[in-house]
Chain A
Amino acid sequence: MTANAALGRHAARHGLEPGRLEAALEWQVTLWSGEMDDAGHRDWAAWLAAHPGNQRAWAEVERLAGRLGELPSDVARHSLKRSRRFSRRQALTLFGLAGAGALVARGGWVERAVADCRSGPGEQRDLTLPDGSSLKLNTASAVNLAFNGERRLRVLPGSEIALDSRGTGGGPLRLEMAEMALDAADSQVVLRDHGERLAVSVLAGRVRVLTGPGAIAASAAMGRAPRAATLLAGEAAWLSADGVRRVPLDRAAALDWTRGVMRADRLPLRDFLAELGRYRHGLLYCDDAVAERVVSGAFRVPDTDYALQSLAQALPVAVHYRTPWLVRVSAV
């Protein structure tokens, strides 16, 4: 059986056109790249809007991708590993446990050591970690925990989290992103992953930062040295593979989302919708004609429909719900 025969049968069973289903799968793969820009998102929206058949095909892909999303990634990572030769060693270095032979021999150590926390679009979560630290997840965020003697959180791309580890005892508390790591022991820190760079706000304590290749153990094993810096309470910074750029800390703004508020301070409408869109499934976008309209104010999240309603009252714009997951803002 060829792959395309399977696609054709699936399309037939669900009353879809095979070509559109294939295109929807291609869009899903593009969206998953972690590298899609504004133009790409608009192309996607245009494809969706072009034909009801595209929307039906997309809904089917979204349904199946949603089932995949039910898998906790810690379980998936360590039970779906393919090549033993590759994976076991890789998992070890990733978790900084290379050489821990006894743990490997026992089997299943990773599963015991890790847990998985995630929030969907429009969800926020409050969690207490095994060491007593408090962890808040903003919308569409995910972290994998490894608390087994060590304390380690892997922050997945696009996530926004607030971690308060004050008074939880000694030893490092590692936060890991791609090519970046923080030691946030005994501190209060908010961070948001913007893809190529990471925004960090230190509200209390001090945070040691490592950036560049070698920041996480897997690359360190290849002998590349990361760059280090320390951020103190009251400091904020952008971190990227290039290093650390310090910026003034706006304490209230950093914590806005933890109180269910999204604040806009003279934001172009395009940027405002991109920000608000994090709290929704699907796509929220606007016509070029209104993209530069300026939005200011405080909006309640994660209830974005109310925010959109307020927007339409404050500005001469109209909100069109093509489907619940495809919303366009235009001039009135």
Chain B
Amino acid sequence: MASTTLSNALNAHVGTLYRDHAQWLFGWLRGRLGGDQDDAADLLQDTYVRLIDTGRYPPPGEGRAFLTQIARGLVIDLHRRRRLESAYLEALAARPEEEAPSSERRALVLDILVRIDQALDRLPDKVSRAFLLSRFEGLTYHQVAERLGISHGAVRKYMLKATQACLLALDE
């Protein structure tokens, strides 16, 4: 069957990519993760899993560049998650103990933070700033316009763009 054939071909291809580049990629990752072996090993596996998930594989000769591109994204995401997690934990530490959220809730909030942070990263600076000022500083659009030195119409346009990006990023 066509799909089985394709899947076998893909697996064979992934196998080749693993054999040829895993050792090198492990070193590359370790260099970018401050020498941490465990993180590097985790992200090495994640890189290949992500490769299989995409269902696309690199043209001959470009395997290393292709894998590096995936791995670079994963390193950024790991740093992002760690940074957001520590900011979140510090915010929690300032609260009365009885308000401490459950571990499920903490995981939920961190997941949402990561998704929003990623979505905002892909938007122009003023668009993401307008969104943050409106949603988390509680400013009206007129106040956002004044703060950013842009027109009220531009705030609305930016908000539409950012709202679409952020809300769609929150789908399960």
Considering the chains assembled together, what is the distance between the CA atoms of A285 and B99 in angstroms?
36
Decide if A61 touches B160 in the complex (CB within 8 Å).
no
Chain A interface: which of B7-15, B47-55, B57-65, B132-140? B132-140
Given contacts A10-B171, A29-B163, A82-B120, contact A157 B94 (CB under 8 A): no
Contacts of B132 in A (CB 8 A): 76-77, 80-82
A111 at the interface (CB under 8 A from B): yes
Q: Which of A30-79 contact B (CB under 8 A)?
A: 32-35, 61, 64-65, 67-68, 70-79
Residue among A6, A86, A111 with the most chain B CB within 10 A?
A111
Decide if B140 touches A64 in the complex (CB within 8 Å).
no
Given contacts A25-B163, A32-B163, A82-B132, contact A64 B170 (CB under 8 A): yes
Contacts of B90 in A (CB 8 A): 108, 111-112
Considering the chains assembled together, what is the distance between the CA atoms of A178 and B134 in angstroms?
12
- Interface residue ranges, A against B (CB under 8 Å): 3, 6-7, 10, 13, 25-26, 28-29, 32-35, 61, 64-65, 67-68, 70-83, 86, 108, 111-116, 128, 130, 142, 147-148, 154, 156-157, 178, 195
Considering the chains assembled together, what is the distance between the CA atoms of A330 and B37 in angstroms?
68
Chain A interface: which of B22-30, B67-75, B79-87? B79-87
Contacts of B94 in A (CB 8 A): 111-115, 147-148
Considering the chains assembled together, what is the distance between the CA atoms of A72 and B113 in angstroms?
10
Decide if B91 touches A115 in the complex (CB within 8 Å).
yes
B40 at the interface (CB under 8 A from A): no
Q: Which of B103-132 contact A (CB under 8 A)?
A: 108-109, 112-113, 116-117, 120, 125, 128-129, 132
Considering the chains assembled together, what is the distance between the CA atoms of A34 and B143 in angstroms?
10
B34 at the interface (CB under 8 A from A): no
- Interface residue ranges, B against A (CB under 8 Å): 83-84, 86-88, 90-91, 93-96, 99, 108-109, 112-113, 116-117, 120, 125, 128-129, 132, 134-143, 156, 159-161, 163-168, 170-171
Decide if B167 touches A64 in the complex (CB within 8 Å).
yes
Residue pairs across A and B with Cβ atoms less than 8 A apart, 22 shown, are A3-B165, A25-B160, A25-B164, A32-B134, A34-B134, A64-B171, A67-B112, A68-B167, A70-B112, A71-B113, A72-B109, A75-B88, A76-B132, A77-B136, A79-B83, A79-B84, A79-B88, A82-B125, A111-B87, A111-B90, A148-B94, A178-B139
Residue among A61, A77, A83, A113 with the most chain B CB within 10 A?
A77
Total CB contacts across the A-B interface at under 8 A: 140
Decide if B164 touches A3 in the complex (CB within 8 Å).
yes
Q: Which 9 A-B pairs have the closest CB atoms?
A: A34-B140, A79-B87, A111-B90, A156-B138, A64-B167, A111-B91, A73-B136, A67-B170, A76-B136
Contacts of A61 in B (CB 8 A): 167
Decide if A26 touches B160 in the complex (CB within 8 Å).
yes
Residue among A34, A65, A79, A108 with the most chain B CB within 10 A?
A79
Considering the chains assembled together, what is the distance between the CA atoms of A77 and B164 in angstroms?
19
Measured CB to CB, the closest approach of chain B to A219, in angstroms, equals 10
Considering the chains assembled together, what is the distance between the CA atoms of A3 and B122 in angstroms?
11
Minimum CB distance partner of A116 in chain B? B91
Is chain B's binding surface mostly helix, strand, loop or mixed?
helix
Given contacts A34-B134, A111-B88, A130-B96, 7 further A-B contacts (CB under 8 A): A32-B134, A33-B140, A64-B168, A64-B171, A114-B94, A115-B95, A178-B143
Considering the chains assembled together, what is the distance between the CA atoms of A73 and B136 in angstroms?
5
Measured CB to CB, the closest approach of chain B to A258, in angstroms, equals 20
Decide if A68 touches B112 in the complex (CB within 8 Å).
yes
Contacts of B164 in A (CB 8 A): 3, 6-7, 25
Decide if B168 touches A35 in the complex (CB within 8 Å).
no
Considering the chains assembled together, what is the distance between the CA atoms of A7 and B171 in angstroms?
12
Considering the chains assembled together, what is the distance between the CA atoms of A70 and B101 in angstroms?
12
Contacts of A74 in B (CB 8 A): 91
Residue among A26, A34, A157 with the most chain B CB within 10 A?
A34
